[in-house]
Structure 1
Amino acid sequence: MKTKASGKILIVEDHPIFRMGLKDMIDSEPDLSVCAEAEDVDTAIGFVISCCPDLAIVDLSLKNSSGFDLVCQIHQNYNFCRTLVLSMHEEALYAERCLLAGAQGYLMKQEASESVVTAIRNILNGQIHVSSRIMSRLLNVFTRQSEPEQASPLAAISDRELEIFKMIGCGLTSKEIAVRLNLSIKTVGTYRERIKEKLNLKNASELIRHAVIWVETGVFKGS
């Protein structure tokens, strides 16, 4: 019989109540334990170095930072630590991006209470954990089969453009985005124009409106 993997878990989540629920759930398992908690990328990296967790559970929306950036950093520099991504946004849009960035699993936040322990065990046992829907999409890609369902319009924009679109939806100005991402305001303006063009949005007002709706609901319906 296959043995259950055991491991130390780092939780990277900026909502205290949700983080507390995850911790209680994981610590109730006899072979799993939460070794540290963080709410931003810098703190999380510090704990990765000091605690050497076997797995980090990473929310894509973090305090003043991006969980996607954290996934990339862990994959590139700390490959002893696997990552399981949590998100409220479109699974079809983010799951593949996160896996390509180095994550070993993706879980919608709505499903976390029922599936997080299973996801942790699967990943610690060397498996990739995604929904059957996403696995089917990935298999279609690998076998070069056509995708029967229409992809989200947001699939057309790059990872950086998606990150900026999300920041716009969170109410950040171009200046604030430039500071956050260490870019010039002109470069942020160029990204905004590219996003509008790719999403067929006519002006800045439409861009902001659709970005806000997407951040609040996790759904982009197009113009």
Structure 2
Amino acid sequence: MSAAGTIRVVLVDDQALFRAGIRMLVGSQPDLEIVGEASDGREALSVVRASRPDVVLMDIRMPVMDGLTATAELLRDPDPPRIVMLTTFDLDEAAARAIREGASGFLLKDAEPEFLLAAIRTVHSGSAVIAASATRDLFAHFSAPAQSAPPREYADLTEREREIFALAARGLSNAEIAAREFLSEATVKTHISRILTKLGLRDRVQLVVFAYEHGLA
């Protein structure tokens, strides 16, 4: 049984050597625990539903069932885990699709170990700001700006909220926005929360998607 406060992680990847490395890395942290592993998407469905992890690290390209299909299935479950896609490619259209459909972000497989650990903790805390600059570049390449007017919900944002929206869409953190706009981080967090609520978005990754799909970034 996990200790109180331990973040439960399931790792899904078809490369046993890669899984072994991640298992050792995650296992070295007192607040993280690998509670299951799978080598393909179909096996992942069983493992995740049986172990009820907080976070899933999901490879995109696997045999039997790929990570996109498995992610879509899991996100239809009640109270699904946070899912982070693992990819070999810096600009990966499949990762963009996964984020659009509800994944919490993506990581490159050759990311620094400290970054991967920080990403797990960040996602578990409810945020989806993972490799914000990479996410921004991803959608800049794969999401052509829309020619239509922004949706009605965007018009409901105040002028200040639109300013914060634009900065968040560029990948700036709360601290960076606060410094730039001479605001407290708490105030920026409140603005972001209101923006997400008004636009019907779940998190900041979906905000980036929204911005690029509607030509607002």
TM-score bin, normalised by smaller chain? 0.5 to 0.7
Asked whether the equivalents of residues 11 and 38 of structure 1 are also in contact (C-alpha less than 8 Å), the reply is yes
Identity %: 22
Gaps of 5+ in 1: 148-223
Counterparts in 2 of 1:114-125, with a 5 A limit? 114-125=114-125
SS state at 1:34 partner:
strand
Whole-angstrom CA distance in 1 between matches of 2:16 and 2:111: 18
Alignment match, 1:142: 211
Check whether the contact 1:54–1:82 (CA below 8 A) recurs between aligned residues.
Answer: yes
The answer to which structure has the higher helix fraction is: 1
Please give the residue correspondences for 1:82-121 in structure 2 after superposition, counting only pairs within 5 Å.
82-91=82-91, 93-111=93-111, 113-121=113-121
Partners of 1:111 and 1:53 lie apart in 2 by 22
SS in structure 2 at match of 1:56? strand
Deviations along 1:85-131, whole A, 9 cap, x unmatched?
Answer: 10012435233211112111200112153421111000000011332
- Superposed, 1:1-223 pairs within 5 Å as 6-91=6-91, 93-111=93-111, 113-136=113-136, 139=169, 142=211, 144-145=214-215
Q: TM-score, normalised by structure 2?
A: 0.59
Q: Is the 8 Å Cα contact of residues 58 and 85 (structure 1) preserved in structure 2? A: yes
Runs of 4+, deviation exceeding 3 Å: 134-138, 143-147
Distance verdict in 2 for CA 1:130–1:40, change over 3 Å: same
Paired residues, number: 143
Given the superposition, is the C-alpha separation of residues 46 and 128 from structure 1 closer, same or farther in structure 2, using an over 3 Å criterion? Answer: same
What TM-score do the two structures reach when normalised by structure 1? 0.58
User: Hey, what's the Cα distance between the residues in 2 that align with 1:130 and 1:19?
Assistant: 21
Contact 1:92 1:134 in 2 (8 A): no
Give me the whole-angstrom Cα distance separating, in 2, the residues matched to 1:92 and 1:38: 22
Preserved contact between residue 56 and residue 82 of structure 1 (Cα < 8 Å): yes
- 1:83 CA displacement: 0.4
Q: Match for 1:76: what amino acid?
A: R
- In structure 1, C-alpha distance between the alignment counterparts of 2:135 and 2:50, rounded to whole Å: 34
CA gap 1:30/1:78 in 2 versus in 1, 3 angstroms: same
Q: Could you say what secondary structure the match of 1:62 adopts?
A: coil
* Greater Cα offset, 84-93 or 135-144: 135-144
Find the residue that maps to 1:61 and give its secondary structure.
coil
Paired residues of 1:95 and 1:134 also in contact (CA < 8 A): no
Unpaired runs of 5+ residues, structure 2, are 140-168, 171-209
